[in-house]
Structure 1
Amino acid sequence: MQFFVVRSGQPGCEPTCPEWVSAEGTIVDESPARFKKLLKSLGDRRLPIVVTSPGGDVDAALAIGRMIRARKLDVAVGKTRFVGCQPEERDCRANDDKGARHVGIAYSGEAYCNSACPLMFAGGTRRVVGEWAFLGVHQITTTYVQMETQYRMKYRVVNGKKKVTSKKVVGRRNVGGYKTYEMSKATERKLEAYLTDMGVDRAVVNLMKVTPATDIRKIEPVAMLEMKLTTKLGGVELLTSIEVCRTVPAAGNCRVFTSVDLE
């Protein structure tokens, strides 16, 4: 999963524009560390998270969700269309006068949060999924890998008995593995405890259990609200529209930028 701080490129928002964190891609083992690094760079700023993800590592999703809740951040399922500099571009200067490295527009169409992603999403203080976005769950897949370890050992004979004096790993190889597609009781308890901490109904776990790993169960907007997976009806625009900067006071993710800041 990649994380970028984005400033709105919506026409008419300057000099006070909303900003957010774009979080897109598969959740992997390294994702929590990357997210923690980004949060540190923001200092005390509390920017909403705009996420699109097919899912990934469950424990990593839980870790990110807890960080989101600890910082009291809002989350929306959405995508970011970057304007000017693209995330993969290096040494791009197109946005030098925009007040941000990345500028873009957040939208709900074709955005999705599936598999382990809803666990991360549950960490949000405010949580929204638009009409044109998709949030789905299914059974957890657990992969077990069997490894063979080779050692180099040295011995010494003491009083006629052989004793090991050193033992060093010289190699490891994968000798097979298997997958399970049924949630263990321990995992079920862990997920239920997490969702309870986040104020979300355990019915989410029940939906995961009854949906095959090869399928995905879309949760409809009203059902998400009933399960307290979302906190209100509406989409990413509730967190990233220029309207959030026109209230008094303006939303906390709004930042003023003028030409004076370039001097």
Structure 2
Amino acid sequence: MGGFYYINAFGRIEPGDDVKFQKLLTGASPPSVTCIYINSIGGDVESAINIGRAIRAWRLSTEIGTYVLHHEDVSAPIIRRNLLPGNCMSAATLLYLGGRLRHFHDGAQFGVHQFSYKNPSPEHVGQSQILSAKIAGYVADMGVSPDFLEISSSTPSNDLKLIDKDTLSRLGVTTGGITDVRWTVQARSGVLYVRGERDSMFGHHKVMLVYAKGSGFLFHAVIEAQGRQTELTEFPLVELVLDHEATVWDISQRALRVVNGDDVNIIVKLDDTEARMIASSSSFGVRVRASGEAPVFLGISPMDTDGGKEQLETFYSVLGGH
């Protein structure tokens, strides 16, 4: 039947818990689909940030509550698991933001307020400013709206503001099973590229329109394989998919497939027309199948280019025809 991995993180966050958490991850090596279930009133802010960064580095997800076995029939071959509602308050909210996917179910509570030192002394004023800057940087790195900090800072430290599910979604605090595509322009070692990046239950994926000096345009996909490196490199059919599957190119004979740790890279050289079509498309991705009749595929479903339209079109208009 396979295994099911999860981590319950409950109780107050104490100084040093970040070190313990990192040791847990190093020892257990949880797969990237693992979810951290949080039930905490908060605690040490710096430890929470460090734990959150570790969660993101390990590509884990977060949820509010506690996941427990349901011992209604211990003799049953499969024991049901139940998610109990929980609280994510104060510094624990920073830990929650570390999830690459962040889930929120009915019954959960998410509460914020100002972060401050108890019984502050004069030297705490400077430390508070440093801590505020660290929190702001962390929230931005996690892809959450700065409005999240405005809500937190407007609530006194001796009070608590509960944020509803719709507001959490609007702020980008919750993602559900898939994130929006994040488009950026990157440069590295004589290579320029526009990259779309997205997380989902199927992995952390990237698609790129690349221009390399001496090679011209390339398509490059990075697929988190989730243990399917063999299928992704050996299935015979590789297709580049544009405009929500309205356009499909068979690139099987010219696609280079390379395993790099947990990821599989697919790279194919493009002619100028292909690069222009990708740059002007409404979405693009790549799929790998056992045959043309196979109903399911591995790879990356087309990523919407809405947030990267200007970057893609400008990228091609500047470099196209060279």
TM tier relative to shorter chain: 0.5 to 0.7
- Quickly say closer, same or farther: Cα 1:178–1:114, change in 2 above 3 A: farther
Match of 1:79 among 61, 66, 71: 66
Partner of 2:117: 142
Q: Contact conserved, 1:27 with 1:60, CA < 8 A, in 2?
A: yes
Secondary structure of the corresponding residue to residue 31 of structure 2: coil
2:187 is aligned with 1:200:
no
Q: CA deviation at 1:190?
A: 1.6
Q: 2:136 and 2:77 mapped to 1: Cα distance?
A: 44
Q: CA deviation at 1:187?
A: 2.6
- Quickly say closer, same or farther: Cα 1:185–1:178, change in 2 above 3 A: closer
Task: Give the AA of the match of 2:41.
Answer: P
Q: CA deviation at 1:229?
A: 0.6
Q: Contact conserved, 2:8 with 2:66, CA < 8 A, in 1?
A: yes
Partner of 2:253: none
Partner of 1:87: none
Q: CA deviation at 1:108?
A: 4.4
Q: Contact conserved, 1:137 with 1:208, CA < 8 A, in 2?
A: yes
2:201 is aligned with 1:225:
no
Q: CA deviation at 1:117?
A: 0.6
Q: CA deviation at 1:67?
A: 0.2
Aligned residues: 181
Gaps of 5+ in 1: 1-14, 85-94, 146-176, 240-250, 254-263
Gaps of 5+ in 2: 179-199, 202-224, 228-322
Which structure has more relative contact order (CA 8 Å, sep 6+)? It is 1
2:50 is aligned with 1:50:
no
- Quickly say closer, same or farther: Cα 1:178–1:132, change in 2 above 3 A: farther
Task: Give the AA of the match of 2:12.
Answer: T
Task: Give the AA of the match of 1:114.
Answer: M
Partner of 1:41: 27
Partner of 2:105: 130
Match of 2:83 among 69, 90, 107: 107
Partner of 2:264: none
Partner of 1:21: 7
Q: CA deviation at 1:178?
A: 8.8
Q: Contact conserved, 1:24 with 1:52, CA < 8 A, in 2?
A: yes
What is the TM-score normalised by the length of structure 1? 0.59
Q: CA deviation at 1:233?
A: 8.2
- Quickly say closer, same or farther: Cα 1:104–1:194, change in 2 above 3 A: farther
- 1:203-253 C-alpha deviation (Å, 9 max, x unpaired): 11111111111211111111111110111389xxx98xxxxxxxxxxx969
Q: CA deviation at 1:144?
A: 5.7
- Quickly say closer, same or farther: Cα 1:44–1:129, change in 2 above 3 A: closer
What is the TM-score normalised by the length of structure 2? 0.49
Q: CA deviation at 1:25?
A: 0.7
Q: CA deviation at 1:41?
A: 1.8
Secondary structure of the corresponding residue to residue 118 of structure 2: strand
Q: Contact conserved, 2:49 with 2:94, CA < 8 A, in 1?
A: yes
Partner of 2:160: 216
- 1:22-62 C-alpha deviation (Å, 9 max, x unpaired): 11111111211221121012226232111110000000000
Partner of 1:118: 93
Q: 1:38 and 1:80 mapped to 2: Cα distance?
A: 18
Secondary structure of the corresponding residue to residue 136 of structure 1: strand
Q: RMSD of aligned C-alpha atoms?
A: 3.7
Secondary structure of the corresponding residue to residue 37 of structure 1: helix
Q: Contact conserved, 2:70 with 2:82, CA < 8 A, in 1?
A: no
- Quickly say closer, same or farther: Cα 1:116–1:60, change in 2 above 3 A: same
Task: Give the AA of the match of 1:222.
Answer: D
Q: 1:223 and 1:129 mapped to 2: Cα distance?
A: 12
Greater Cα shift, 126-135 or 54-63: 126-135
Q: CA deviation at 1:19?
A: 2.2
